[in-house]
Structure formats: structure tokens, C-alpha cells
């Protein structure tokens, strides 16, 4: 039934600031910007090996209970070096949620709270690389 990750949506009270922060983090501009009565209310980036979508949505459209406090699910993005990614996130103003932890051979995770209250995870996952490699061979 589930075929794969398409879009992860984060929320921010200040979309312009979130757009700038994620542009700096990702090294790319959003490919889609949607204003709703004035400044952007939604921006979207395409990132990664499969061009997954990361959307930043104005908090006024957040599900009930979003208070700017970190919570909910953690979405993990594969990185080649968890410690370096974690340190870069902290240098950009994120705060540590969980420092890098080795979960087993070829599996390391860490997470931060971005400046807008969203949980952002980074992971080194050998299975991800194995699947990516097998797709390239096919």
C-alpha cells in the first residue's frame, strides 16, 4: 500500500526565515513557493537521491496542537556522515534532540530541533545505500 516517502511537511511561524535557513542547510533554493494573501505560506524543496520533497508550511495551517514545541514523528534523512551533519545543523542554529547514537552495524542516528520547532533526523543507514546501489545496477 505505501510506496515510498513523497513529501515531509514542517511548520514555521516565519516562512521567510525558515526558507532562508533551509536554503542554507540544503544549498539549494526551493523549487516551489506559494503565497497565500501576501508572503509565502508554503515553500518546497526537492532533495536527495530520489528528489523527495521537503515542504515548509505556515503554522497557521498546522494541525491542532502544533505549538512550536518539538514533537511528533522524526523523519530521518540519509547522510554519509552523521556526526558532521549533526554538527552542521547545530552550527546553523538547531538544538540537539538526540546526539549521534550507533544503533548497530551500519546504522547511526541523530536528531535536532530546527529553529522553528520541528524534529529533523539524520541517519547513516547501510540498507539505504544497498538499495540505492541495487537500483543503479538494474
99-125: per-residue pLDDT in tens?
999 988 888 999 999 999 898 999 998
Q: Is residue 99 located within the same domain as residue 42? A: no
How do residues 9-50 score in pLDDT, each as one tens digit? 899 999 999 999 999 999 999 999 987 677 788 999 999 888
d(CA 73, CA 29): 25
pTM of the full predicted structure? 0.79
pLDDT of residue 124: 92
Range of the domain at 42: 1-62
Number of structural domains (the chain) is 2
- 63: exposed, middle or buried (C-beta count within 10 Å: 0-12, 13-18, 19+)? exposed
What CATH number is attached to the domain comprising 58? 3.10.180.10
Final residue of a structural domain among 31, 62, 93: 62
Three-class SS of residue 132? helix
pLDDT of residue 115: 95
Q: Is residue 78 located within the same domain as residue 41? A: no
Amino acid at each position: 500500500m505505501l510506496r515510498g516517502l513523497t513529501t515531509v511537511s514542517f511548520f514555521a511561524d516565519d516562512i521567510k526565515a525558515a526558507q532562508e535557513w533551509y536554503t542554507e542547510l540544503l544549498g539549494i533554493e526551493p523549487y516551489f513557493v506559494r503565497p497565500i494573501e501576501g508572503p509565502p505560506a508554503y515553500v518546497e524543496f526537492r532533495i536527495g537521491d530520489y528528489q523527495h520533497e521537503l515542504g515548509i508550511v505556515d503554522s497557521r495551517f498546522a494541525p491542532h496542537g502544533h505549538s512550536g514545541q518539538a514533537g511528533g514523528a522524526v523523519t530521518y534523512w540519509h547522510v554519509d556522515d552523521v556526526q558532521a551533519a549533526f554538527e552542521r545543523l547545530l552550527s546553523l542554529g538547531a538544538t540537539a534532540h538526540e546526539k549521534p547514537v550507533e544503533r548497530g552495524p551500519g546504522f547511526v542516528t541523530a536528531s535536532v530541533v530546527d529553529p522553528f520547532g520541528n524534529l529533523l533526523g539524520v541517519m547513516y543507514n547501510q540498507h539505504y545505500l544497498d538499495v540505492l546501489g541495487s537500483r543503479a545496477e538494474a
